[in-house]
Amino acid sequence: MNEAVERVVAYLYDQYDQPITLADMADVAILSQFHFARTFREVTGVSPGRFLSAIRLQRAKTLLTTTELTVTDISYMVGYNSLGTFTSRFTKSVGVTPIQYRSFAQADLAAGLGGAGRPGEDPAAFGAMAGWMTLPPAAEVRLMYIGVFDGPILQHLPVSCTMVENETAFQLDSVPEGEWYVFAAAVNPDEPPVDEYGSRVARLVAREGPVKCVRGQTTMLDLAMRPCRPTDPPMLLALPVVLDCSRVRQPMATSA
């Protein structure tokens, strides 16, 4: 079934700017719509529609940083018929507006690196997460980002995040009680961009979730870092924003 999903993912990357229905994707997979939707979610962790949306927004990020096209032109080029809808979804998913993202991308990768804590908070009102990242043999990475998110796609601002350099242990403080997804992404800022569009991509990734966080307790994690796969949803959160770990979402009581 992985081959069927990979075939559909390749189709989505090739045809993302066209109207694509669930029936179209199921035909490519040679599966019924119900079976395809269930299989796709099992392999990728997200629905086919969310994966397609992530591809479109990822492509928009690339066009914003590699061309001088207007935001309006880019929105239509990646499959949106409404500038307002595109801007709203981009901002919600990436964490900044398209114009802000274009500006951020011109800044130094590690500019604004900060701690994840929010001043004035009572640590006893939250939980924490801590653990280690296991790297593949001979892996060469320098910066590793770990964040706590409310869903299986790395988007929005995290509720807690941290960055470690040349080490594998991590600590995530001020995590609200509830169920969360923990993401880790490793990059080497000294290397040139490596994807086909010239955008920086993570060298290694890990995802764990849903993970339960309990107030006043520390949840221990062991994140197995691995190379990116074709079936991994695109990372939507703006990397310069990711690295500024002082920008975190306000705590919420619970998360589904």
Residue 112 belongs to some domain of the structure:
no
DSSP string, 119-172: TT--GGGSEEEEEEEEPPTT----EEEEEEESSSSS-S--SEEEEEES--EEEE
Q: What is the CATH number of the domain that holds 168?
A: 2.60.40.1120
Residue 82 belongs to some domain of the structure:
yes
Residue 235 belongs to some domain of the structure:
yes
User: Which of the four pLDDT bands, split at 50, 70 and 90, describes residue 221?
Assistant: very high
pTM here?
Answer: 0.71
Residues 75/104/242/9 CA torsion (nearest 10 deg): 30
Residue 76: the pLDDT is 96
Residue 34 belongs to some domain of the structure:
yes
Residue 192: the pLDDT is 53
pLDDT tens digits, 1-41: 689 999 999 999 999 999 999 999 999 999 999 999 999 99
Q: How many domains does the chain have?
A: 2
Q: 187 lies in which domain range?
A: 123-243
Residue 253 belongs to some domain of the structure:
no
